[in-house]
């Protein structure tokens, strides 16, 4: 099952994934950007944004009313780094319907005791 430290790391990484969804959906751009390392990259289907300014511009442009939902995360720990794979569903409309699905592949890193995205790659399903 893993050591207590590994279990705690997995839970902290799951919380990072959840905070990402909550902050982007709530248009909390500064908090969302803070989930990345200083040199963090978000690649959204081939459009890569790096660093706080580019990330903030992306977050500020996300439409109102979306709900990001992840599922089936697989976390592979390696000390202060980890790789995470998960499915993404983006819901929109009233009633909510699935607008987009795809896969995240994340490189996360512990920085100053907190897990952060070093690189997040989203590949939409075709």
Whole-number Å distance between alpha carbons of 7 and 54: 33
pTM: 0.94
Q: Which long-range contacts (CB under 8 A, 24 or more apart) does 101-104 make?
A: 101/125, 102/45, 104/70
Q: What is the pLDDT of residue 88?
A: 98
In this predicted structure, the answer to whether residue 102 has a pLDDT above a threshold of 80 is yes
Residue 91 · residue 66 · CB < 8 Å:
yes
Tokens of 15: 């919380």
Q: What is the pLDDT of residue 1?
A: 60
Q: What is the pLDDT of residue 2?
A: 79
């Amino acid at each position: 099952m893993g050591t207590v430290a590994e279990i705690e790391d997995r839970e902290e990484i799951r919380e990072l994934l959840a905070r990402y969804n909550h902050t982007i959906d709530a248009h909390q751009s500064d908090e969302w950007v803070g989930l990345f390392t200083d040199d963090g990259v978000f690649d959204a289907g081939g459009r890569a944004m790096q660093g706080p300014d580019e990330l903030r511009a992306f977050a500020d442009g996300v439409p109102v009313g979306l709900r990001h939902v992840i599922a089936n995360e697989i976390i592979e720990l390696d000390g202060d780094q980890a790789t995470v794979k998960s499915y993404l569903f983006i819901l929109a409309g009233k009633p909510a319907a699935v607008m987009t699905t795809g896969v995240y592949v994340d490189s996360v890193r512990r920085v100053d005791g907190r897990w952060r995205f070093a690189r997040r790659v989203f590949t939409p399903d075709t």
